[in-house]
Structures are given as structure tokens and as C-alpha cells.
Structure 1
């Protein structure tokens, strides 16, 4: 009998053989993987937060870490391949030794790593990277600073005026005491392009400077605002006349140019167009003619009344006024003609004073033609407020003639007030 030769091709076409071969190969792979899992391997863990703890005493004394508290580290761990497959950054604790710190300053701290769970089945086999970290430790301080607006740069057109205002006038800055103490000025900084004829608004960055005008970093600071709205209000300009005002001035007296001088005689205003269009002059604080003699007198600081919403660009808050009345005449009169004004109808008044002496000032021709009978002493009781009995009340004088004359001085008269 003839024996068949062995054929590999026929064997590979045998389904039973292929099935058994696949089982043997899979089993071999499983055995190899199991044997490999028993071998140790290395894994590097990164981005592990570094924990920094000051001592209780340091914290109680007010010390804080202002820089370096958010750093991370990396370490290499070794262990069973199957175990390391589930190990992550939370399984390792990295700390920087800060217990010995008891004062402010910059410190370099050694960094170490431990297993979060001491019984975990892996080992830390490398030094921590980085091995040291730098931190800033200081006392906490908070201060409020005024924000200056003179670093808002802009240009206005001729005939216009610009003024800057900020949405916040101050900023609260907190941080390490050593750095806070360096702050001398806080500027709102912005640069506005173009030539302005109308108001604009922009964002301005807050920039800190020390007393030597060196810019300071804000890295260690907390600021309640870091930018502010800067508004540049642009208004037209106008030159207006400065005019005097008077009280108790006789209606007939004309103050001519040779009798008065005003310094400054005009000022430059900036303001809303609708206000300036209706403004040709500004008034001075009034001069009371009852205080004026027939002489030359200077009022060095009479306040200037500026219209609402306007700004005095001349920076003259007051004016000097010289009034020359030396060309007028003075004469005294004894007046016995009294009247009572302003008394409520529930009361009666009896003038107990028979006469009053008054000094009259005015042009010579009017003074010469004036007699005591032309003068009436008017007692003002409008401020008596229910007072009864013998009282003194202020007196003013009226003239039927001499329209350019006035009474110099302060006068009072006696009268008795009673209920009806």
C-alpha cells in the first residue's frame, strides 16, 4: 500500500486545525501578558499641585503667601504595571516646607513628595521637579488711592476746551504690605486720537507709579477696578465782560468809567453752547452802598459768579474793584419824619424816638438842595415775628428828591409794638 505524503496546504485548509491553532495562540498571548504584568514599570506624574502651609502662628500674626502658591510639580513612580494603570496625580502629595517662616520676605522652599495613601502599592523613585520653589510672604494691606486723570491724552480744536472726568475717582488696592507701600500715584491712562470738537468716552487703564515715577507691576495686587471710563467733555469758549453789582445804590447815580476799575475786566468761559449763547457778562459779588463814603475805596477780592455748567478758564475766582466816589459831597441831617413798614395788621406800633441823625452822600448840587423835610425814616418791622414791647428795628431812608444820594451807615430806631 502506498503511503500519502504530509501536505501543509491541506492542513491549513482543515477547519478543525485552524480552530485549535487560534486557541493555542490566544492562550499564549494571555500567558505572556500575565507574566509581563508582574514586572515593575515607571510612570511620570505631572501637574501635581504644590501644597504650602504656613504655621498657625504665622497666619495668626497676619502673614500670607502672595506669590508662588499655585505652582505644580512632577515625580516618577515605580510599581506593578497593572497597579500603575490606575495611579494619577491625586495619589501623590507634594509639599513645600514653610513652617519655619515667621516674617515677611522672599523665600526659597524645598519641595518633597509622599504617597497620599502610605499603603499604596507603588514607590516614588525620583526627586520632585522642581526641587525648590520661590514664594513671597508678607502682611496683608489694603489702601484707597485717588485716581489722577492727567494721563488722558487728547487734543481739542481751537476755540474749544476739554475737561476730563472719570467713572471712578478712587481705587481700592490690596496685597503685600511691602509692595503696597511703594505706590505713590495711580493714573488713568488713555490716548485719544484726532482733534476733538465734541465730547468722547474711552476706557482708561489704571497704572501705578512709585515716588520716582517708576511704573509698578500689579501682579501681586488685587484692585477693585482695573479700568475706568474716561469722559472728555468738549465745550466751546467765550470771552465775557466782568460787571459790578450793587445793593442800596440810588437809582439816579451813574457809575462812569472814570469812577470804577475792575481787574480782570473780562474772563474766558467754557460751557455748553446754549448757555454761552445767552451769556455776555458775569456779575461780581455785590457792593453795599450803605457802607460807602465819599472817598476812593478798593475791594481786593470780590467773587465772580460763574453760570451753571460753565468753567472759568482764566482761573480768576475773584476780581479787584476800585470805586472812586471822592468827587461826591457829604452832609448830615436830623430827620423827624418816621413811618413803619412790614408790621402785621394784628399789631400797633408807636415810634418812641423823636428824631434820628443820618449822613447823606451824593452829588454836590443834590446835597445842597436837600433838606431834612425831604427825608423819610422808614422803620422795617418785617422781622419782628410777633415781638411786643419796646424794641429797636432797622431804619432805611427814602428821598422825594436827590435821586443820586444815599444814606451812609447802619441805623436803628426805637418803637413800641403792642397787640390790637
Structure 2
């Protein structure tokens, strides 16, 4: 016996049909309706490429701050178009080709790799501040810094690079250079040697300057060992100062310098000669920087080969002293001066007031030199214990003495 089928009322079937159609339409709009609705999408940390950087070098320019830049981007489009965007195809560029001289430039960031169907709604940054500077090249000496103590009570008497280095970089960085050095560890060193040392540039604060190219960046350095000592100097002048003036004093600062050499050679020297200072036509005191020349085999330590020489020039003054005694010097054993014609003399001096004003009669001695004279009567010149440069005249200039 067949089962009875339940009949659905017509109005209920119509309701179900309408509901199904409504659900289908809703689902269609949910799936396809967003394809035409604009939405936004963020793309962050996109690297910004600086293009035509090589053109700067052709113009002797260089980036002051060669760092990495990144772009944060927001685009607007339909869901379908946004899905078609491939992240790795999005690029950002800043063109440097129009830069022709040093300065700071605000350059636009250009985004590439986006379809025309999407819109850039925001980007950060929109421009980059780019600073460029002139490229400078300079040839520079390398200073050698020593660390440690050599063996056997020796000292480093010379440590010099055998060549200069060429430094290239931004002008601002070049001007920051205070020194360019290489460091040699000489602790326990017992013999002369050659070392190959790394070179570094430093600013006045002692900080390395990193954006410079130094060629070569390793230099051969000869290191010589020996002994040292402090020696004085013998200054002199050449020429004549202006009329009515005289050279009254030559002062050297420092008064001594430190020199180094092999021990047997070092023992042969006590003073360093200074090339004569030209005073021709000079009318007043002057100071001159002098670079001393070390004798062969000797070295100046710690820049001690540089001194300041002051030549004092003054208008001379005259001053007379009356001496009541003339003595005899260098008499042979058993001899005496029994008689002298002139026992009082007037000594007239000419020189710097500072020198003459410091003298008194007790400091001045008049005498006759009796060296190798037999007993008898002699006319002898009267001399003094003062520098001949100070003595203008002695009155009388000669006197008669009797030796017994």
C-alpha cells in the first residue's frame, strides 16, 4: 500500500521560492558587489632607491649621509584590483641626476609598479632631504703612535711611515681631520724593524672619521731603537740690524731638545747648532719658528726639533764706569807688578739698557795681561772682564807697567 504524500500548500511553495531567490541575490552581492567598492590597503617599509648616484662622482660630489630610506604607502582601489597588486613589484625612487653642486635638496619620491586602476591615497615621505658635498683629495703624512716599552732599556728614536697617504671624502669630513695615525706596539722590541700598520683618521675629539677613503690604508713603517739625551743649542745671527740698533740677546725656547741615536754616536754630541738668524734691517725684537736639522744618524724626539728663537733688538745706550784699580794677570811664578803708570781708568760701555743697568763697578775688573813676560818695563793694553761687544772704549787704552 503506497504511502500517503503530504501536499505543500501553494502559498508556502511561493514563499520558499521567493526566499531562495532573495538569499541567492544577497550572496551574489556579497561576493561580487565588493568588486566595485573602493577600499584601502597599506604597504609599509618599501625601500627607496637613489638613482643616478654615479652621476655625483662624475661631478666630484658625494652623498653626505649614505643611509637607507623607506616608504610607507597607502593605496585605494577595488578589492579585485588590490588583490592583483604584487608587493615585490612596488618600488620607490629618488633621482639624483639634476644635482650639480654641493647643497641640500628636497627631491620627490616616485612610486612605480602600481596599476592605473589604483590610487595612492597617502605616502610618507613624499620627498627626501638629500645633502651632497664636494669630494676632496689630499695627500697627508701619517703620524705613528707608539704603545709599549722596548726591551733592554732602549727607546724608539724614530718611527716614520715611508710614504704619504691620499685621503678622499666629503669636504666637511676632510676639514674635520685632526690627525691621521697608525699605531705600533713596540713592547719588548729589541731590534730595529719594519711594521705594516693600519691607518685611521681622527677628529679633534679623538673619534674615528668613517666616511673617508684612505689609500693606501696600510703603510710600511721603519722603527729604529737607540738611546736618548737632552742637549742645548748654539744660536747665532747674520747681517746687521737697522742703524742705531743692536742685537742684545738671543733666546731659544725650549732651551734644550731631546735627541736620539745609537749609543756610541750619541756620546759624540753635546749641542745642536742652529742655522744663523738673519737680522739684516731689523729694528725691533722678533721671534721666528725654526725647524732644526738633525746631524746624520740623529733623530729629534717628540717634535723637539722645532724651537722658537727670539732675537732681542734695542737701541743701545752708553754708560761709563770709573775703576780705581788695574791688576796684573798671568804673571810668572815669583813675579810682581811693582809699578803701573795708570791705576784709574774709565770704561765706556754700549749696549742694551737692561744689561748695562744691571752692572756696577764691583762687577767690572780692569787688568793687563802679563803672559810670558820677563822682568822689565812694558806698555800693555788695558782689558776688562766684560764681553768685547759691550766695551766701547777704555781710557787710557794702554799703560806702562814694571815687572820684577
TM range (shorter): 0.3 to 0.5
Q: Normalized against structure 1, the TM-score is what?
A: 0.39
